[in-house]
Chain A
Amino acid sequence: MEARDDMVCCPVCDALHSFGDIPDGERARCVRCNTVIAVGRPEAILRIVVLASTALILMTIVIFYPFLELRSGVFGSKASVFETVMSFSQGVMAPLSLAVAAFVIVLPVARLSLLIWALGPLSVNRSPWPGAARALRYADILKPWAMAEIFMVGVAVALVKLADLATLSMGPAFWSFTAIVVITAFKDTQMSKHSVWTALETASSNAR
Chain B
Amino acid sequence: MDGPGNSKQQRTLTARDAGLIGCRQCTRVSPAGTYRCPRCGARLQSRDITSLQRVWAWWLVGLMAYVPANTYPMLITSTAGRSEEATIIGGVIELMNLGSFGVAFIVFFASVMIPVGKFVAIGWLAWIVRKPHGHKPGHLLHLYEFVEWIGRWSMIDVFVVAILVALVQFNLIATINPGVAAVCFALSVVFTMLSALSFDSRAIWDRIETMSHD
Contact = CB atoms under 8 A, between A and B. Distances in A.
Interface of A: 1-4, 7-20, 22, 28, 30-34, 37-38, 68, 70, 72, 75, 77, 79, 83-88, 92-93, 95-96, 99-100, 103-104, 133-134, 136-137, 140, 144-145, 147, 150-151, 153-158, 160-165, 193-194, 197, 201
B14 A14 contact: yes
Interface of B: 1-4, 6, 12-20, 22-31, 39-42, 94-95, 98, 100, 103, 106-107, 137-138, 141, 148, 151-153, 155-160, 162-170, 173-174, 178, 180, 182-183, 186, 190, 193, 197, 201-202, 204-205
Contacts of B152: 144-145, 147, 150
A153 B27 contact: no
B165 A12 contact: no
A203 B101 CA distance: 53
Contacts of B15: 9, 14-16
Given A14-B22, A18-B3, A32-B12, A92 B166 contact: no
A145 B189 CA distance: 11
B162 A87 contact: yes
Contact of B14 (A15, A92, A161): A15
A11 B24 contact: yes
A77 B170 contact: yes
B166 A87 contact: yes
A101 to B, nearest CB: 10
A72 B168 CA distance: 10
A164 B86 CA distance: 18
B155 to A, nearest CB: 5
B22 to A, nearest CB: 3
Given A136-B40, A140-B25, A16 B20 contact: yes
A64 to B, nearest CB: 14
Count chain A CB atoms within 10 A of each CB in B148, B152, B190 and give the residue with the most: B152
20 contacts: A9-B27, A10-B22, A11-B24, A14-B202, A15-B3, A28-B1, A85-B162, A88-B178, A96-B182, A96-B186, A133-B39, A137-B41, A145-B193, A150-B153, A155-B163, A157-B103, A158-B163, A160-B98, A162-B164, A197-B27
A72 B40 contact: no
A165 B168 contact: yes
Contacts, number: 215
Nearest to B15: A9
A130 B209 CA distance: 42
A54 B169 CA distance: 33
Given A87-B162, A154-B160, A197-B40, A37 B25 contact: no
A177 B58 CA distance: 32
Nearest to A152: B159
A41 to B, nearest CB: 16
A90 B160 CA distance: 18
A37 B2 CA distance: 13
Contacts of B24: 11
A104 B155 CA distance: 11
Contacts of A133: 39-41
B205 A32 contact: yes
Contacts of B174: 165
B76 to A, nearest CB: 11
B183 A95 contact: yes
Nearest 5 Cβ contacts at the A-B interface: A9-B22, A154-B159, A17-B3, A197-B26, A87-B165
Contacts of A136: 40
B138 A75 contact: no
A194 B27 contact: yes
Given A144-B193, A144-B197, A154 B163 contact: yes
